[in-house]
Every structure is written in C-alpha cells, then in structure tokens.
C-alpha cells in the first residue's frame, strides 16, 4: 500500500514553503507639525496710534491758585528768614513763560536800580601795563592781566565770578587754551555772551551791579533784591526786571510767540508765592513795618 504523502501534489508542497517576496518601497509623506499649519487671515491688525508729544510746557490755571500782593509775599517770606543776615538772603523771582519747548530762549544782562550782588569778583583779560588795565582797576575789577591769569587758571585757581576780555587779547586767550577750564563754569569770554568788549570800564561798572538771567525750561530766574530791601526798592527792581524781559521778547521775530504767564517770588528758605500784580492789598500791613531788622 502506498504512503499517503506520495499522493500529495507537488504544488501543495510548495504552498507550505515560505516564499521571499521583495518589499516595495512605499512613498514617504512629510508630516508637518500642527503648529505650523495656519490659515491665512483676511483681517489686518489696526495701526498703532502714535503718542502726540507736547511742543509747549504745561501751564496751570491761575484762577484756581491763591495769589498774593508784593507786600504780603514779602511779609510771609521774611517770616521764613527770621534770624538770618538781611544781606545774605535774597529775593528771587521766577517768571514763567508761555513758549515753545524748542524755540529761542530769553537771555540778557540787567543792571537793576538797586544792586543785589555787591561782592562780585570781576576778572579782566587785557595787557597788564596799559591804559585799559588802569581803567579796569578803577572801575572795580579785582584781577587784571594776561599771562598771570592764564597761569592761575591752568593750575585750577579761579578766584573770580565774572570774566571779560578785551578784543585785542582775544587771540592770546584762545591760544592759552582756557576753554576746557572756564567753559564748563560759564566763565569763558565770548562775543556771543557780550564778554569780549572794547570799552572795558563801562562793562565792568555794569557787571559789578548787574545780574545775568537766562530762560530754562520756560522759566526765567534771577535774584531781584536783598532781604533787607524796602517794599519800594523791591518794587522798582521787579518792574525793571519784567520790563527788560518784555523788551527781550519784543525784539524776537514775529513768528515767535512768548508771553508772561506767572510771576513767583521766593527766597533762600521760603517757598514760592505767586504774585497777583498788586503792590499792596487792602488788608496788607504798612510798608514801614517791613524794615531791615528780622
């Protein structure tokens, strides 16, 4: 009897064998992260609003402020200065202007009717043995010369509060190189500031009893009196100061608009008192009571 396996067809035997079929390479698709798949938006973001910058200084409404007459302001200021030397403490005036931030500034020198700074040391750069030097000394200059002054300044010795230069000595002063020392202190003579002159005697006299003022941040400040001044003396100085500022503003171009907004009076120790423009109020004390003794 034949064995059962002999009757199995050959192809059935092959079916039981493992046939190696070559793998086909499948196409690879790039997988993008979810965060990178975004839809295009049709709405555009609104433009950012630009912040408007002010071209003028902030001014407060004076109707909401308490203002004082000149006599009343002097009375309160003297109360803050009790016990001090009347010649050391000074009345200082602040004139607030309505003006542009980047416009030209008010700047000048003024000789008040009643001198405030009587101890100013003035230096005059001119030939030491000339008639100009003699004129400067007689007018009140404390330091006169050329080479001697140059040597002291280079050593750091600056024993003066104001400095003027004669026009003939300007080239020699520039050659000495004093700008890096006197420039930062505001003492370097120049034609722009009116400190390079030909008439030395007149300039020294005006400078000895005069004061400089300059507009900064829309405010002009200057000492207008000593604490021992009477109300009449202070009134004359205040009037001269305000008239000079108005004159400076009137000499500017018509395109430049400057107006006085507020006038404030203060001292070394006291706060500022806004002035109403009146000399004396109905309830003010008598002017004779504002004497020199404090």
Tell whether 256 is covered by a domain.
Answer: yes
Same domain, 78 and 129: no
pLDDT at 3: 52
Residue 15, domain member (yes or no) = no
State the residue range of the domain holding 164: 122-207
Based on the domain organization, do 197 and 246 belong to the same domain? no
* Residues 231 and 155 grouped into a single domain: no
Do residues 207 and 120 make contact, with C-beta atoms less than 8 angstroms apart?
yes
pTM for the model stands at 0.61
Number of independent structural domains in the chain: 2
Residues 169 and 230 both lie in one domain = no
Please tell me the predicted confidence (pLDDT) of residue 16. 46
**Average pLDDT value for the chain:** 81
pLDDT band of residue 239 (cuts 50, 70, 90) is very high
Mean pLDDT to the nearest integer, 209-222: 86
- What is residue 291's predicted lDDT score, i.e. its pLDDT? 65
List the alpha helices (DSSP H) in the chain: 10-15, 70-80, 131-139, 147-154, 170-176, 179-182, 200-208, 231-250
Q: Could you read off the pLDDT of 180-198 as tens digits, one per residue?
A: 889 888 889 988 888 899 8
The strands making up 162-166's β-sheet, listed across from edge to edge, are: 143-145, 122-125, 162-166, 196-197
| CATH for 281 | 3.30.190
Q: What is the pLDDT of residue 268?
A: 82
Residues 84 and 128 in one domain: no
Q: Is 266 helix (H, G, I), strand (E, B) or coil?
A: strand
Assign residue 194 the CATH number of its domain: 3.40.50.790
Q: Give me the long-range contacts of 212-216 (CB less than 8 A, separation at least 24).
A: 212/108, 212/109, 212/110, 213/106, 213/107, 213/108, 213/109, 213/110, 213/241, 213/245, 214/105, 214/106, 214/107, 215/97, 215/99, 215/105, 215/106, 215/107, 216/105
Domain boundary among 149, 180, 207: 207
> 126 lies in a domain?
yes
Q: How far apart are CA 20 and CA 35, in angstroms?
A: 43
With 70 as the cut, is the pLDDT of residue 72 above it?
yes
């Amino acid at each position: 009897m034949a064995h059962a396996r002999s009757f199995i067809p050959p192809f059935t035997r092959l079916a039981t064998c493992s046939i190696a079929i070559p793998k086909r390479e499948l196409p690879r698709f790039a997988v993008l992260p979810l965060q990178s798949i975004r839809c295009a938006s049709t709405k555009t973001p609104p433009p950012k609003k630009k912040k408007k910058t002010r071209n003028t200084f902030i001014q407060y409404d004076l109707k909401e402020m308490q203002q004082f007459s000149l006599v009343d302001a002097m009375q309160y200021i003297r109360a803050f200065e009790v016990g001090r030397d009347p010649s050391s403490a000074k009345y200082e005036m602040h004139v607030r202007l309505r003006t542009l931030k980047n416009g030209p500034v008010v700047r000048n020198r003024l000789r008040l009717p009643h001198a405030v700074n009587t101890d100013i040391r003035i230096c005059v750069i001119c030939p030491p043995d000339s008639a100009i030097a003699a004129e400067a000394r007689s007018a009140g200059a404390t330091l006169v010369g050329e080479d001697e002054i140059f040597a002291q300044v280079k050593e750091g010795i600056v024993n003066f509060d104001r400095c003027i230069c004669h026009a003939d000595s300007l080239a020699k002063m520039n050659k000495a190189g004093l700008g890096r020392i006197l420039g930062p202190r505001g003492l370097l003579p120049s034609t722009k500031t009116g400190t390079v002159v030909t008439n030395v005697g007149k300039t020294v006299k005006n400078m000895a009893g005069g004061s400089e003022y300059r507009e900064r941040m829309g405010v002009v400040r200057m000492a207008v009196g000593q604490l021992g001044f009477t109300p009449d003396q202070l009134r004359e100085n205040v009037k001269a100061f305000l008239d000079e500022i108005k004159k400076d503003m009137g000499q500017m171009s018509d395109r430049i608009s400057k107006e006085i907004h507020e006038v404030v009076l203060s001292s070394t120790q006291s706060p500022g008192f806004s002035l109403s423009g009146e000399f004396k109020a109905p309830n003010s004390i008598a002017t004779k009571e504002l004497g020199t003794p404090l």
